């Protein structure tokens, strides 16, 4: 349970960082300050919901696309969030493409770097944190 909470918090933080950087860098991408938390939550839930479907479709119909599953999931997460929430505005095809790449890349970096500082013991190898065997 602790691991699930830790992974969820890290995913939320990684997505928040990616969305903030995209909003700072891209002129056609904006996130409302008041609805930022809601946008991050919707985006994260959308990614979690879409990922298994995209993985299954990719494995079944286009195995060569397995490497692009995360990018497709990020794009669909942005698309769903854009239409569910009024707090996210993305205009222009170039902005959509760059936003997908920036949010995906920043999220990937954050998901790789943040565990080194947050929840280090929770997310570390389970072998090192198992209780000692019972005495004979």
DSSP 3-state assignment of 30? strand
8 Å CB contact between 90 and 78: yes
Terminal CA-CA length for the chain = 30
Q: Quote the pLDDT of residue 133.
A: 54
pTM over 0.85: no
pLDDT over 80 (residue 130): no
Q: Quote the pLDDT of residue 99.
A: 95
Percent of the chain with pLDDT over 70: 86
Q: Quote the pLDDT of residue 119.
A: 66
* Distance from C-alpha of 127 to C-alpha of 79, rounded to nearest angstrom: 40
Q: What average pLDDT does this structure show over 10-24?
A: 91
* Higher pLDDT, residue 120 or 51: 51
pLDDT over 60 (residue 128): no
Question: 79-116, pLDDT tens digit by residue?
Answer: 999 999 889 999 999 999 999 999 999 888 887 888 88
Question: 55-75, pLDDT tens digit by residue?
Answer: 888 887 777 777 788 899 999
Domain edges within the chain: 2-125
CA 12 to chain CA mean position, Å: 7
Q: What average pLDDT does this structure show over 25-29?
A: 94
């Amino acid at each position: 349970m602790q691991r699930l909470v830790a992974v969820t918090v890290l995913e939320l933080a990684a997505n928040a960082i990616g969305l903030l950087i995209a909003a700072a860098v891209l002129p056609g991408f904006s996130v409302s300050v008041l609805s930022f938390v809601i946008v991050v939550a919707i985006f994260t839930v959308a990614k979690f919901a879409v990922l298994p479907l995209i993985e299954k479709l990719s494995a079944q119909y286009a195995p060569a696309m397995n490497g692009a599953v995360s990018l497709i999931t990020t794009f669909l997460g942005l698309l769903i969030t854009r239409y569910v929430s009024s707090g996210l505005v993305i205009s222009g095809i170039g902005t959509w493409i760059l936003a997908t790449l920036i949010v995906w890349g920043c999220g990937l970096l954050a998901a790789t770097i943040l565990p080194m500082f947050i929840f280090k013991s929770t997310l570390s190898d389970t072998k090192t944190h198992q209780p000692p065997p019972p005495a004979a």
